[in-house]
Chain A
Amino acid sequence: MNAVESVTGSSSDGSPYVRIENVTKRFGEFVAVDNVSLDIERKEFFALLGASGCGKSTLLRMLAGLEKPTEGRILIDGQDMTNVPPYERPVNMMFQSYALFPHMSVEDNIAFGLKQDRMPVAEINKRVEEMLELVQLGQFGKRKPHQLSGGQRQRVALARSLAKHPKLLLLDEPLAALDKKLREQTQFELMNIQDETGITFIVVTHDQEEAMVLSTRIAVMNQGVIQQIGSPNEVYEYPSSRYVADFLGSVNLFEGEVASINQGIEIRLPQADLHLVANNRDNVTIGQNVAVAIRPEKISVSIDKPNELTNQCQGKVDEIAYQGSLSVYQVKLADGRMVKVSSPNQVRTAKRTIDWDDSVWLSWDTDACVVLID
C-alpha cells in the first residue's frame, strides 16, 4: 500500500498541480463551499471526505466546471480554469449514477469523449480496446449499459472517464452503488488503475474507510469548510478537532481541564475521580478546557488490575457486541460514563473470558490520548 509513505506528495518543481484558491460557492443564501483553499499534487490519490451536504460534491463539480465558483480561482497545471466550460477542461468525471448513455453501446460510451476531440477512427478503436482491457471488460464492448451488472457499469463509467487521458480524474462516490464485497475488491482495482495510468485522482466519498484505503491524502470537510488535511494515518491517529476525531471511526471523547504539565499532560475530568495523562503537545496551558480522544482499540480490557500503564480505571461491562473479528464492549464507569472498548477475538472459543456485568479494568498508554483544544 502506498498510502502511508507519500504523506504530502509534494513534487519537485514547487507549484502544485491543482490549486484551489479561496473558492466560495453560494446557492442563494446557502453557502455550500466556504473560502476553501487546497493544493493537490501530480499523481496524488486525493479524497474529499465528509457527511452529505458538507460541500464536497459542489467542490468536485466546480473542478469539473459543472458549477462556477461564486468567488475564488481554480488552477489546473498552472492554467486558470475558473471560467472554462466543462467541455474545454482537461478534466473528466466519473458520476455517482455513472451517467452511462443508455442508448449507446459500451464501446460508443467509451468512444464518446474521443469523438468529441475528432480523434481518427483507427485511434479511437485502439484506445477503446485499451480501455476495455484496462477495466477487464474486453468481451462486453457491444453490450448496452442495461445489459451489464452494477459492477460492470461502474467499470464502463471508469473507462469512459479515463479514455481521454485527462489531467485530472474526478470520482463522485465511485463505489457507493456497489455491495460491500464488490466494493472492497474494486477499491484495489481503482488503486491499481491509478498506479498504471499515473493520472491524478480526486475522489469524493462519505465512507471514511473507503477514503482511508484509497487515498494518499484526505481532506475532511464539514459545512463547506475543510477541517483537516493529511494522510489517512494522520487524520485518524492525530485528529485536529473533535469533529474529525468523531467523524473518522469511533472514539471516546472526554471533556476535562488541564491540571498539570510535567512528563505528560494531566487532565482532570470533572465529577469523576479520574485523571488522564497524555503525551505533551504545544499550545496547552494549565487550567485550559480540552477534550481527550481515545480510540476504542487503544484501550485494553482485563479482569485483573494491570500494572504498568499510567491510565487506568475500573468499570462494569454493560454491553458486548460480537462482530466476528472483534468484540466491542460498552463499559460503565463509576460516574455512569460509558466507554467503548474493542478487542480482537484472537482465540476461537465459545466461552467468553469477560461477560456481562463483570467488573473490569480499562487501561491505555499515554500515547493513546489525543488532546484536542479545538
Chain B
Amino acid sequence: MNKGISWFNICMLLFGFVFLYAPIVILIIFSFNSGKLVSVWSGFSTHWYGALFHNEQILEAAWISLKIGAINATIATILGTLVAFALNRFGRFRGRTLFTGMATAPLVMPDVITGLATLLLFVGIGMARGMATITIAHITFSLAFVAVIVRARISALDMSLEEAAMDLGARPVKTFILIVVPLLAPALVSGWLLAFTLSLDDLVIASFVAGPGATTLPMVVFSKVRLGVSPEINALGTIIVLLVTFCIVIATLIFQRQERQKILDDQMARRG
C-alpha cells in the first residue's frame, strides 16, 4: 500500500502538519506565560488559568454555549437522521429535489447569509431573541452535517438486515429500534458530537440571532480578541484543545482496541 508514497509526499505532509499545528502549539506555550504579552516569554505561570476561572462573563457564556450545543446536537441528530433516511431509503417522493437542496445547501452557505436570513424570520414572526433562537438557527445548519454522516453509514448498511428482522416478525418501528439504531449508533454519536462542536464554534450566526442575556462563548471571545490579544484567551484555547485531544485519543484507543479484537475474532473464526 505504501509503495506510492514518495519523499515529496512525506515533505508535503510534514509541511502541512507543521502549518496546521504550529499555531496551536504556540498558543498553548504562551498560555503559561507570566507576562501579558503572548509573543515574548517572561516565565512560567498558570496565572491566566486562574484569571479565566474567575471571569464570570466567560464562565456564564461557556455554560450557555454548552446548553445550546447539547440541545442543538440532540435535535439535529434526530432531524438529520430522518433526512438521511428520506434521501437514502425512501426512493422518489414529491418535493424530493427541493428537500435535497435544503438539506445540502447549509453545508456551504456562508454564515453571514444564514445569520441575517434567520434573524429576519424571527423578527418577522415576532419571536423574542435569546437562547431559543440561537438553538433553532444552529439546528438548521447542524442537521445537514448530521445527515451527511448518517447517509454514509446507511448506504454501508445491508438492507437485508432490516428485511430479516421484519421476516422474523418485527414490525417496522421495532425493526428500526432493535436493528437500525444500534447499527447506526457510531454515526449517530459522531453526528451528535459534530453538531455539538459546530454549535460551540459558531460566532456569526449566533451574533445575528442572539438577544439580551444570551451571549455565547464565541461572542465573548470575539469581543475580547477584537480589543487585542489576551493570555486569558490562550488559556481558554489550551483547555479546549486539550479537552478535544483527550476525547479523540480516548476514542482512538477504543477504536484500536475494537480493531485488535476484530483481528482476534477473525483468527477465532478461522480456527472454527
Contact = CB atoms under 8 A, between A and B. Distances in A.
A99 B160 contact: yes
Interface stretch (A143-151, A219-227, A260-268, A326-334): A143-151
Nearest to A89: B167
B268 interface: yes
A143 B264 CA distance: 13
B169 A164 contact: yes
How big is chain B's contact interface, by range? Answer: 20 to 34
Given A95-B160, A99-B163, A112 B269 contact: no
A247 B168 CA distance: 34
A66 interface: yes
Contacts of A88: 169
Contacts of A101: 161, 164-165, 179
A85 B179 contact: no
A112 B265 contact: no
B166 A85 contact: yes
Nearest to A110: B168
A147 B34 CA distance: 56
Contact of A117 (B166, B169, B265): B169
Contact of A87 (B167, B179, B183, B269): B167
Contacts of A95: 160, 163-164
Interface string A111-147: 0110011000000000000000000000000011011
Interface in A69-103: 85-89, 91-93, 95-97, 99, 101-103
B171 A87 contact: yes
Nearest to B162: A99
Interface residues of A, number: 32
Interface in B207-233: none
A211 interface: no
A85 B173 CA distance: 13
Contacts of A152: 269, 272
A96 B159 CA distance: 12
B158 interface: yes
Given A99-B158, A148-B269, A164-B169, A116 B174 contact: yes
B170 A102 contact: no
A103 B182 contact: yes
A148 B266 CA distance: 8
A160 interface: yes
A144 B167 contact: no
B166 to A, nearest CB: 5
A92 B269 contact: no
Contacts of B171: 87
Nearest to B158: A97
Interface string B238-272: 00000000000000000000000010011011101
Given A87-B169, A93-B167, A146 B160 contact: no
Given A87-B166, A144-B265, 4 more contacts: A87-B169, A89-B167, A91-B167, A102-B183
Rank and list the top 9 A-B pairs by shortest CB-CB distance, nearest first: A113-B168, A116-B169, A99-B164, A99-B160, A147-B265, A86-B166, A95-B160, A103-B182, A87-B166
